């Protein structure tokens, strides 16, 4: 199994980054007509965070988008991978909790948010990140 571990880690890193970048691209209009758009995302953010005061919902949308973008780019190039993976796990766990509170357990299960969370956490536990900036800088 060790034979495939480096490739599996790379693919997990790239898949986790893609799981963040695709929704960001959607809300920023890069997916064209298939995208959701920013306004729809802000509305959805308010629905997911139904417990939050409406005045802070746009800020939550900006913070979520910023964190998703930064973490995805860090994972994509493999820079500070362990920290980026832990951040991704934490962010998706928060998403899962908010979705569960607002919509019930079915929603985060349907969107595989718990899978995203645990796969990012698993990535954070890897001993090394081959084919990454971390490897070039010789960081574990």
Q: Of 23, 128, 19, 33, nearest to 76 (Cα)?
A: 19
At 140 the pLDDT is 60
At 138 the pLDDT is 85
Q: Where are the domains of the chain?
A: 4-138
pTM: predicted TM-score of the whole model, two decimal places: 0.94
At 139 the pLDDT is 64
At 2 the pLDDT is 81
At 103 the pLDDT is 98
Task: Summarize pLDDT for 97-126 with one digit per residue, the tens.
Answer: 999 999 999 999 999 999 999 999 999 999
Q: How far apart are CA 138 and CA 109, in angstroms?
A: 37
Q: 10-residue block means of pLDDT along the chain (140 residues)? A: 91 97 96 93 98 98 98 98 98 98 98 97 96 88
At 1 the pLDDT is 66
- Please give the structure tokens belonging to residue 54: 């409406």
At 27 the pLDDT is 96
At 68 the pLDDT is 98
């Amino acid at each position: 199994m060790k034979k495939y571990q480096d490739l599996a880690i790379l693919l997990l890193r790239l898949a986790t980054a893609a799981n963040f970048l695709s929704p960001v691209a959607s809300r920023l209009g890069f997916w064209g007509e298939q995208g959701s758009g920013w306004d729809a995302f802000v509305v959805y953010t308010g629905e997911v965070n139904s417990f939050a005061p409406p005045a802070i919902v746009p800020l939550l949308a900006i913070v979520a988008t910023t964190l998703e973008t930064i973490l995805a780019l860090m994972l994509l190039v493999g820079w500070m991978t362990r920290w980026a993976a832990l951040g991704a796990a934490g962010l998706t766990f928060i998403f899962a909790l908010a979705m569960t509170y607002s919509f019930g357990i079915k929603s985060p299960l349907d969107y595989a948010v718990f899978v995203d969370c645990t796969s990012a956490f698993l990535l954070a536990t890897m001993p090394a990140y081959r084919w990454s900036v971390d490897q070039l800088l010789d960081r574990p």
